[in-house]
């Protein structure tokens, strides 16, 4: 299992801990399964549960 983010580096979780994510979107090209967890940002009116353009492009 690998963790990835659009911009590798520290990711602060709501449970008050930090994940050091060392992989960028390039690892998605070889992934068999991709899990995208929800966040508070996913429920803001301007997002309404849609993926960002950057994440959509990385998953394409």
- The tally of CA atoms less than 13 A away on the side-chain side of residue 60 is 8
Does residue 42 sit within a domain? yes
Ranges of residues in the chain with a pLDDT under 50 are none
Position 45 scores a pLDDT of 66
Q: pLDDT tens for residues 31-48?
A: 999 887 766 666 666 667
Does residue 19 sit within a domain? yes
| Polymer length in residues for the chain | 60
Helix (H, G, I), strand (E, B) or coil at 41: helix
Cα separation, 32 vs 38, in Å, equals: 20
Position 28 scores a pLDDT of 87
- Please state the pTM of the whole predicted model: 0.62
Does residue 4 sit within a domain? no
Full domain range(s) for residue 42: 9-59
Does residue 21 sit within a domain? yes
Does residue 23 sit within a domain? yes
């Amino acid at each position: 299992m690998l963790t990835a983010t659009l911009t590798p580096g520290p990711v602060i979780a709501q449970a008050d801990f930090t994940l050091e994510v060392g992989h960028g979107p390039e690892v998605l090209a070889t992934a068999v399964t991709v899990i995208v967890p929800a966040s508070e940002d996913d429920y803001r009116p301007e997002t309404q549960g849609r993926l960002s353009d950057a994440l959509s492009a990385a998953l394409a």
